Structure 1
Amino acid sequence: MALPNLLLIALFTYRPLLSNIYYSTLDWTLGSVDATVVGWGNYVEFFHSGDAGSVLGTTAVFTVATVGGAMVLGLLVAVALNQQIPGRTLARSAVFAPYVLSGVGVGMVWLFIFDPVYGVLSWVLRGVGLASPQWINDPALALVMVILVFVWKNLGYCAIVYLAGLQSLPHDVMEAATLDGAGPLRRFYFVVLPLLSPTTFFLLITSTLSSLQAFDIIKIMTPTGNGTGTLIFEAYLQAFGAYNRAGYSAAISVVLFVLLLIMTGLQLRFVERKVHYA
């Protein structure tokens, strides 16, 4: 019964993966019928190039900021939405809605908001006598811009998952902590957070994988990668930008795959030790 699914996975997941690893050993221009085998040449060129440090650093900053921001804010929002307040169902829907929206549409809307000349944000800043930062032209601000938008889009996902975790907490444990004199902050830190560790562990893995593969928002808001050149976006630029270097792009993709594999393995090896499942 599992054989058809296994065949589909082998055909559409593992076969492209192995093909990409093979392409990474070629000096191949996209569209060309000829290619030269260079072995590890593309990997050596990438790690010895001046762009490797910048790309890996940008990827690290983007991943840490988006994962940490979405999880921390998502937990705070989940705690607020878990209260018995009027309109909480509508609030939950509003918080989760950005996550299901198209990344292209989200990027275009926020690009208009951040526009230093015609954007809504610049209009608000001019209203209080301040000049709008050059979000798009300044590489450092461009990275901050896409981080803010990515966190905003994925905040609802973390909030809903945390909310499900909060609603599944055992009431007897919470009542016992209250009877023992633990205040709201102590209950949250010493009881709620440890009980939410499986949820946090799940979100840490899924959010990290999602951030390392983020593409659509970065492509729409910074088409040339001005300060936002993560690994996956650099692979795109090398293959489909001005270079058409498909083999070199495949090597960068393999580096990203190995990084994803290492990150997931480290999380399973070390982070899971601190997870309380019972």
Structure 2
Amino acid sequence: MNKRVSEGIWGYAFILPQLTGLLIFAFIPLVSAFVLSLMKWDGFGKKQFIGLDNFVTQFHNPDFKLALFNTAWYTLLVVPTGIVLAILVAVALNKVRGKVVYRLFYYMPVVTSSIAVSIVWLWLLNSEFGIINVYLKQWFGIVGPEWLTNRKLVIPSIAMLSVWWGLGGNMVLFLAGLQGISSSYYEAAQIDGASRFRQFWHITLPLLSPTTFFATIMSIIGSFQVFDQSFVMTGGGPAKASYTIVYHIYQLAFVEFTFGKSAAAAVILFGIILTLTLLQMYMSKRWVHYGG
């Protein structure tokens, strides 16, 4: 056996555990979901093949359309806000003394349980005794809104929680991106008399575009899978105003026990996320710069 073949065998041997886990916990469940989406099954009896009927039912289901609208609205609020704030915080902390401590504080919510975070914010946003409304009244004399019981405010309220929760993760990504930008660019800009804002706009942002691209993709994928906050804080209410796609999938599977319809909704969600990701990758050629 020559050396090249031997090294190849050892290479596959080292990645075998990861490949096995990927096969068992990702690929097989994915294929199973596609197959189940073509079936009628209540979780107990015999599966019945019905073709694309589950998909047709979902596209005509008003709850699915509402869930898609709520999820898209949530994504439009969370992703741009989270990315912009993460960039600004990263730039502010990039050269601050004790930035390691600041990173720790900002990153702590990311590793905190989503259930715990949701329960804390459920208290903060309580319209009667929540600390936010209490301070609004004490400091500004404003009667706080009904954050989680007003149909127009519930998605922005959950989005506010999610931006705070995910800020630390994106901030760390952008801090790492800032470390990779050579100081020679800024020195040259200073010699030319460029202001801080021009340096940020013409140097920092373009050279951070690969990081921004990655953070945007991951944020959109995460936002389309929002479930914990809505489930714990509002139960999908009021009047299904916070009813998201993943909540719809949960409702179909574990409340109505229509697993075929649930799998079809999950496959549609997979298709939406895949399409958006491919579209972003195509559009990235116009604005992502890998120089420097």
Greater alpha carbon shift after TM alignment, 67-76 vs 50-59: 50-59
Q: Residue in 1 aligned with 2:36? A: 23
Picking from 13, 17, 24, the partner of 1:11 is 24
| Bigger Rg, structure 1 or 2 | 2
Q: Are 2:115 and 1:101 aligned?
A: no
Matched pairs, number: 275
1:103 is displaced (CA, Å) by: 0.6
Question: Helix, strand or coil for the counterpart of 2:153?
Answer: helix
Picking from 267, 272, 285, the partner of 1:254 is 267
Question: Helix, strand or coil for the counterpart of 2:152?
Answer: helix
Identity across matched positions, percent: 36
Picking from 209, 231, 235, the partner of 1:197 is 209
Greater alpha carbon shift after TM alignment, 224-233 vs 261-270: 224-233
Q: Residue in 1 aligned with 2:103? A: 92
1:58 is displaced (CA, Å) by: 1.3
In structure 2, distance between residues paired with 1:169 and 1:40 = 51
1:259 is displaced (CA, Å) by: 1.0
1:235 is displaced (CA, Å) by: 0.5
- Structure 1 residue ranges, 4+ long, deviating more than 6 angstroms after superposition: none
Q: Residue in 2 aligned with 1:38? A: 50
State the Cα deviation string for residues 102-129 of structure 1 (Å, max 9, x = none): 1110000000011112211232233344
Structure 2: gaps (5+ residues): 1-12
1:154 is displaced (CA, Å) by: 0.4
Structure 1: gaps (5+ residues): none
Q: Residue in 2 aligned with 1:232? A: 246
Q: Residue in 2 aligned with 1:69? A: 81
Structure 1 residues 41 and 200: CA distance shift in structure 2, 3 A:
same
The code of the aligned residue for 2:249 comes to A
In structure 2, distance between residues paired with 1:125 and 1:244 = 44
Q: Are 2:289 and 1:276 aligned?
A: yes
The code of the aligned residue for 2:25 comes to F
1:4 is displaced (CA, Å) by: 3.8
Greater alpha carbon shift after TM alignment, 47-56 vs 168-177: 47-56
Picking from 164, 171, 196, the partner of 1:184 is 196
In structure 2, distance between residues paired with 1:275 and 1:173 = 18
Q: TM-score, normalization: structure 2?
A: 0.89
1:276 is displaced (CA, Å) by: 1.4
1:43 is displaced (CA, Å) by: 0.9
State the Cα deviation string for residues 175-211 of structure 1 (Å, max 9, x = none): 0111111111111111111111111111111111121
In structure 2, distance between residues paired with 1:3 and 1:270 = 35
Q: Are 2:133 and 1:119 aligned?
A: no
In structure 1, distance between residues paired with 2:268 and 2:51 = 15
Q: Residue in 2 aligned with 1:265? A: 278
